[in-house]
Amino acid sequence: MIYSATIQNKLDVFAIRKQFPVLNREVKGKPLVYFDNAATTQKPQSVMDVLVDYYSGYNANIHRGIHTLAEEATAAFELSRDAVQKFINAASREEIIFTKGTTESINLVAYSWGRQNIKAGDEIIISTMEHHSNIVPWQILCQEMDAVLKIIPVNDHGELLMEEFEQLLSAKTKLVSIVHVSNAMGVVNPVDKIIESAHKAGAVVLIDGAQSTVHLDIDVQEMDCDFFAFSAHKFYGPTGIGGLYGKKQLLESMPPFLSGGEMIKEVSFDGTTYADLPYKFEAGTPNIADTIALKAAIDFINQIGKENIRRHENELLAHATAQLREIEGLKIIGDAQNKISVVSFVVDKVHPQDLGILLDNAGIAVRTGHHCTQPLMQRFRIPGTVRASFAVYNTKEEIDVMVTSLRKAIKMLL
């Protein structure tokens, strides 16, 4: 282990920060405060080292080669699949499909499962707080199949209206696709209850785990979801790699999504047979380097322990929420009971974009805008929010810097 992750169960943030070279840089002459972790986390040195080791030591195409480099690359690639299987506690490695990330995973389900199972008049349920990547694929599917998209509303705290959800469910419901943790508000949805009710109605459930995988303990068997989508770049891994978990029986019954090399057993002009899981869904040369580095990200998280990470992030969230509530005219969007790691807010008479620019001038990276959740912004009748999202390497001192700069920025703008 290259750093001491915990001291008597308290996180050693400074030892962790040393693993992230980018945190040493300055922005506009000020030390970087990186609070855009819900968009993408920074990467520890161990993840970057794997990329360099792969390209400088054993770069090769995988699965088909019999030479040493190909065997080494294949072994490392498949080790990552085992790591993901354990990380989310899937029953078997065949249930882990590597994709570019959450967006591609949802599209895989929409195109493969969706076009096989959705018929005219069928219903799909999503919610008001979905990311566009869990809206648009279903809109396209519904248009194509003449199916109906139903939306679970949210209350003023940003929580799903569960009674309304129960009423939307019927024999017509074929799929419920719900975000586990809202990227725009940090609200944690009651996915266990959603899955139980959806299954009772005979529907299949997809959970968008883009934001939850880094913060919560994910056990897809206990959760009993049918599909679970995630992106490695949200949990200290590289961009361009993520995955789809699917129950084996479902994946086996589904047609391929992309087709070509790698996903076949035999090809002839009389017909083609497909490879077994998971390869049936992994056409073409995959993103080998980033897949191998994904395991280093999982190792990084496991070394610290998700419980320790969560405790630290909860302290940061509580600190930030308390500080921000003191600011006159500031309103937190999504003040639900069950939240994690994200605080989103608007300030009376001030545009979020202007605040974002002034915070950037102070070296503070926050996200401003609609966060790819325009229907949620429409629900709250706002153009967007300022969103600060926290990771294991953030500190209370950084939050204090943000709050001081925010106060100054608001004064300037009013």
Q: Which residues contribute to the site for ligand PMP (CB under 6 A)?
A: 101-103, 131, 133-134, 179, 183, 208, 210-211, 231, 372
Comparing CB distances to ligand PMP, the nearer of 158 and 363 is 158
Six token digits for residue 341: 């790691």
Question: 384: helix, coil or strand?
Answer: coil
Helix (H), strand (E) at residue 332: strand 330-332
Six token digits for residue 173: 């419901």
CA angle in degrees (0–180, nearest 5) for 281-284-290: 90
Comparing CB distances to ligand PMP, the nearer of 212 and 394 is 212
Comparing CB distances to ligand PMP, the nearer of 5 and 38 is 38
Comparing CB distances to ligand PMP, the nearer of 58 and 390 is 390
In the complex, the smallest distance separating the C-beta of residue 249 from ligand PMP, rounded to whole angstroms, is 25
Q: Is 225 a catalytic residue?
A: no
In the complex, the smallest distance separating the C-beta of residue 139 from ligand PMP, rounded to whole angstroms, is 15
Comparing CB distances to ligand PMP, the nearer of 213 and 405 is 213
In the complex, the smallest distance separating the C-beta of residue 242 from ligand PMP, rounded to whole angstroms, is 6
Question: Phi-psi bin for 305: left (phi > 0), alpha (psi -120 to 50), beta?
Answer: left
Burial of 176: CB neighbours in 10 Å, binned 0-12, 13-18, 19+: buried
Beta pairing partners, 31: 26
* Cβ atoms of 109 and 257 closer than 8 Å: no
In the complex, the smallest distance separating the C-beta of residue 243 from ligand PMP, rounded to whole angstroms, is 11
| Number of Cβ atoms within 10 Å of the Cβ of 252 | 12
The catalytic residue among 60, 69, 148, 372 is 372
Q: For the chain, how big is the Rg over CA atoms in Å?
A: 22
In the complex, the smallest distance separating the C-beta of residue 133 from ligand PMP, rounded to whole angstroms, is 4
Concatenated DSSP letters of 333-350: S---SSB-SEEEEEETTB
Residues labelled catalytic: 372
